[in-house]
Structure 1
């Protein structure tokens, strides 16, 4: 009997949890009756009553809901890895707690998995958001497809259905400052995409701030692309050639003209230009260096405070550790 683990990262989602749980449970009717379900909710250090809402949901449905309560906020991608590490299903899916992605697509994804497809991607063809949020998302995925992973689908994705083997490989990597969804594509397994339109959030407000989006862009680019460091090398080479030619030009003026060229403006422009490039280059190199240092420290991606495991009917869910 196949078991499906649905991983739901939660951060300040106390109002979403009752609706999310009911929608996920209602979605079970779209699957064959032999499928067993496990819901792994990961509380990513929420400062509201998200954990309380999860415990109440677990008390109402104790058999198939597991809660992984993290000691601190570690970011949604590390929280997802924590959920993957505690999931026990033969196949797994990741969906957000605000249900902007339609859970009813999971049944179609499950059919692809039964056919031997190890990774199924819900591919956003459009999104209900407008303004800067939409523009940033479009720019992010355009850059990633052209500078990092050329085989990712257009439009971006964070709604996936995948095999146990994919899950174990991602958990084994334990990669820091990365994008867990792009890691699944990077593994190289053939995948299929299912297009859909992402819904507008109807409950609560998003905690996905601009600074987090920029960090994700930098992390994703540096994790999957050497373009920034190669661009520095290319620009440095071009500037070196220009400097060499300009040097020959100055020497020629010195030899053919009795008066030295004033050159003050030119000298200052060149110095400022080269200095600015050096600062940018040092910044990019520093981004790579601190990531190498972070990996060398080998600190855990997350610290689990409690795991509230599902119990038999009629019993109160209790922490594993």
Structure 2
């Protein structure tokens, strides 16, 4: 009898939780009768009533709902890893608590899993959101596909269905400052891509700030691509050739007695440009060095404050 663990990271989702739990439980009727469900909600250090709402759901369904309470906010990806570590299912589904991704898609995902696929991806073919958020998402995933992982699906994804074997790899890697979903693709297992339209958020406000988006962009590039370092090398080579050529030009003027150009303005422009490039290069190298230091410290990705499961009814 297969067990499906549904992992739901939660952060300031107090209003979403009752709706989310109802939709997930209602979706069970679409599965074969021999399938058992386990719901692993992870409270990522929310500062509102999310934990209380989760415990209410837990008390209503004590036999198949587990609430993982983290000591502090560690980000959704680390919260997902915490949920994977606590899950006991043969396969797992990862879905957000805001219900922008359709739970009904899990039925098709489960069918592919039964056929032997270890990873099934729900790919956002389009989204109901408009404006800058949609533009940012399209540009982000287009760049990632070109300079990071060429085999990721277009449009991005954070709704996945994975086998326990893939989950074990994720736990073993314990990779930090990375993109968890790209890491699943990087493992190399053949995957199935199921396109869908991401719904507009109806309840609550997204905590996916510009700062977090920028960090994810940097993490994704540095974790899966050598493009920044290679760009520094190429730019350094180009500047070096330009400097060498200009040096030959100045020497030629001196040797042949021509009047040397005053060139103070041009010199300052070159100096400022090269200095800016050097600082940018140092910043990129510093990002790599910091990530190496962070990995060397080997601090845990998360700290579990308490697990509320069937052995403890709150």
TM-score clears 0.5: yes
Match of 2:203 in 1: 203
Q: In 2, Cα distance between the equivalents of 1:258 and 1:202?
A: 73
Unaligned runs of 5+ in 2: none
Unaligned runs of 5+ in 1: none
1:176-215 alignment runs, 5 A limit: 176-215=176-215
For 2:200, what is the secondary structure of its paired residue? coil
For 1:42, what is the secondary structure of its paired residue? strand
Q: In 1, Cα distance between the equivalents of 2:310 and 2:208?
A: 30
Deviation at 1:215, TM superposition (A): 0.5
For 1:307, what is the secondary structure of its paired residue? strand
Match of 2:168 in 1: 168
For 2:194, what is the secondary structure of its paired residue? strand
Deviation at 1:26, TM superposition (A): 0.4
Deviation at 1:260, TM superposition (A): 3.1
Match of 1:317 in 2: 313
Match of 2:130 in 1: 130
Match of 1:230 in 2: 230
Deviation at 1:258, TM superposition (A): 4.9
1:253/1:261 contact within 8 Å kept: no
List per-residue Cα deviations over 1:201-227 (Å, max 9, x = no partner): 001000111110111110111101110
Q: In 2, Cα distance between the equivalents of 1:141 and 1:123?
A: 11
Match of 1:255 in 2: 255
List per-residue Cα deviations over 1:94-143 (Å, max 9, x = no partner): 00001100000001000000000000000111001111111111111011
1:217 and 2:213 aligned: no
Match of 1:119 in 2: 119
Match of 1:27 in 2: 27
For 1:39, what is the secondary structure of its paired residue? strand
Match of 1:42 in 2: 42
For 2:73, what is the secondary structure of its paired residue? coil
Q: In 1, Cα distance between the equivalents of 2:107 and 2:90?
A: 15
TM-score, normalisation: structure 2: 0.99
List per-residue Cα deviations over 1:214-272 (Å, max 9, x = no partner): 11110111101110110000000011011101100000011112533212122212111
For 1:289, what is the secondary structure of its paired residue? helix
List per-residue Cα deviations over 1:57-113 (Å, max 9, x = no partner): 111111100000000000000000000111010000100001100000001000000
Q: In 1, Cα distance between the equivalents of 2:5 and 2:226?
A: 35
Match of 1:78 in 2: 78
Match of 1:142 in 2: 142
Match of 1:244 in 2: 244
Q: Give RMSD over aligned pairs.
A: 0.9
